[in-house]
């Protein structure tokens, strides 16, 4: 039995943050029902370049496995009635619409508590529902720009750079899922549900972490560091090898000692410029030059084998190299989930294990696949799309 079996979640979602949140919950056993407009459904079904013969896309499959789909327009009388019947059976309703949309569409707790007092309503928006930006659309990259995440990313002499993956979307989804589960637990004890909110902007800013605390208290503004180096610890950065790059993290004196011993340079332990963490940070440029000269002598894989278990280390891969590597295949992070037209379709495994096992996954549903099973004969006529991006 998967841990969330018996929990039913209705979701109005598209693209990243919302679908990522509900996918985590579906993989863990929740009965996640995507309520999609009959006129096209989740917009990500139609995002290329890699389409599937079933009318969906690989982009859509990425975040929508293990879910069900009901095609229903809640702006119609029949659609609203069908939705409210589902609310009576559900533990939660979630959305990642613009902040001004949930109240208008009747997806908040005030609108639904008379139908189901225990219902929990998760709202994932761009900027929140309680400020002057609630009607603004927004996306991951904008949040990285405005909160300073881009300002911390890239080389010091280059332009601010966004993180390559949509990490704000995914962190916001994970944050929303955490808040939703906490409130479901409270509702099960108290019999009273609630609204729970998170937004892309808040989560992006929260990722500034200790850099924000340093600035807010000491006016110490962190800046981009060469070679993705840590702000306050050295050596923690990329280094060139004979055939590529390696990332080494000597976060403690123990790892620094293990590094210089493995390099055959125990003299560096007593080198005056590098004797303490503070001195290594102060003399980072000289330390980098010294280590560059040593690490260029051998290829990356030889260094990985030399350092394995002695200090935190990793090869620096391009994305294709990372996905073709043996380790994620052995651990099940790359796995096969057949679709109707692609029996060899491969996806990423869920990062959570329960009793040592990853969640089983099934392909995302076609639009309206579960209408009859969930709604019976209830139908709704196609209408203009009701969903808007966060």
Which residues are catalytically annotated?
169
Quick one: CA dihedral 129, 132, 137, 138, positive or negative?
negative
- 9: tokens are 């979640």
Q: Which residues of 270-305 are buried (b: 16+ CB within 10 A; e: fewer)?
A: ebeebeebeebbebbeebbebbeebbeebebeebee
Question: In 3-state terms, what secondary structure has residue 302?
Answer: helix
* C-alpha distances out from residue 380 to 81, 104, 321, Å: 10, 20, 47
Strands annotated E in 146-235: 194-199
Instruction: Let me know how many helices (H) and strands (E) the chain has, helices first.
Output: 16, 13
Question: CA-CA distances (angstroms) from residue 132 to 97, 135, 197, 204?
Answer: 16, 8, 16, 19
CA–CA gap between residue 328 and residue 128 (Å, rounded): 36
Distances (CA, A) of 30 to 84, 197, 328, 356: 19, 20, 26, 19
Structure tokens at 354: 């329960």
The owner of tokens 């010294």 is: 290
């Amino acid at each position: 039995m998967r841990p969330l079996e018996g929990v039913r979640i209705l979701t109005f979602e598209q693209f990243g943050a919302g679908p990522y949140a509900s996918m985590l919950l579906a993989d863990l056993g929740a009965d996640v029902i995507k309520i999609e407009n009959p006129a096209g459904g989740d917009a990500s079904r139609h995002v290329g370049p890699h389409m599937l013969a079933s009318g969906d896309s690989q982009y859509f499959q990425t975040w929508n496995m293990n879910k069900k789909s009901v095609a229903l327009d809640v702006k119609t009388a029949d659609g609203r009635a069908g939705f409210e019947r589902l609310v009576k059976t559900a533990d939660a309703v979630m959305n990642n619409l613009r902040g001004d949309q949930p109240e208008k569409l009747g997806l908040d707790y005030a609108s639904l508590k008379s139908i189901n007092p225990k219902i929990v309503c998760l709202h994932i928006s761009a900027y929140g529902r309680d400020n002057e930006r609630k009607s603004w659309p927004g996306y991951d990259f904008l949040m990285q720009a405005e909160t300073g995440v881009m300002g911390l990313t890239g080389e010091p002499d280059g332009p601010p750079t966004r993180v390559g993956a949509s990490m704000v979307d995914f962190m916001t989804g994970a944050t929303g899922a955490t808040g939703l589960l906490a409130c479901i637990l409270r509702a099960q004890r108290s019999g009273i549900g609630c609204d729970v909110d998170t937004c892309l902007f808040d989560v992006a800013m929260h990722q500034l972490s200790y850099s924000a605390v340093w600035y807010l208290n000491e006016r110490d503004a962190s800046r981009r560091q060469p070679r993705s180096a840590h702000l306050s610890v050295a050596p923690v950065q990329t280094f060139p090898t004979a055939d590529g790059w390696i990332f080494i993290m000597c976060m403690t004196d123990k790892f620094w000692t293990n590094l210089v011993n493995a390099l055959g340079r125990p003299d560096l332990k007593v080198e005056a410029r590098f004797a303490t963490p503070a001195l290594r940070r102060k003399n980072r440029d000289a330390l980098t030059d010294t280590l560059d000269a040593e690490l260029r002598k051998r290829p990356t894989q030889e260094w990985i084998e030399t350092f394995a278990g002695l200090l935190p280390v990793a090869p620096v891969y391009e994305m294709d190299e990372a996905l073709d590597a043996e380790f994620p295949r052995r651990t099940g992070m790359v796995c096969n989930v057949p679709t109707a037209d692609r029996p060899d379709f491969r996806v990423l495994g869920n990062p959570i294990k329960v009793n040592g096992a990853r969640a089983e996954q099934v392909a995302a549903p076609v639009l309206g696949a579960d209408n009859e099973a969930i709604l019976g004969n209830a139908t709704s006529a196609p209408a203009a799309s009701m969903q808007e991006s966060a």
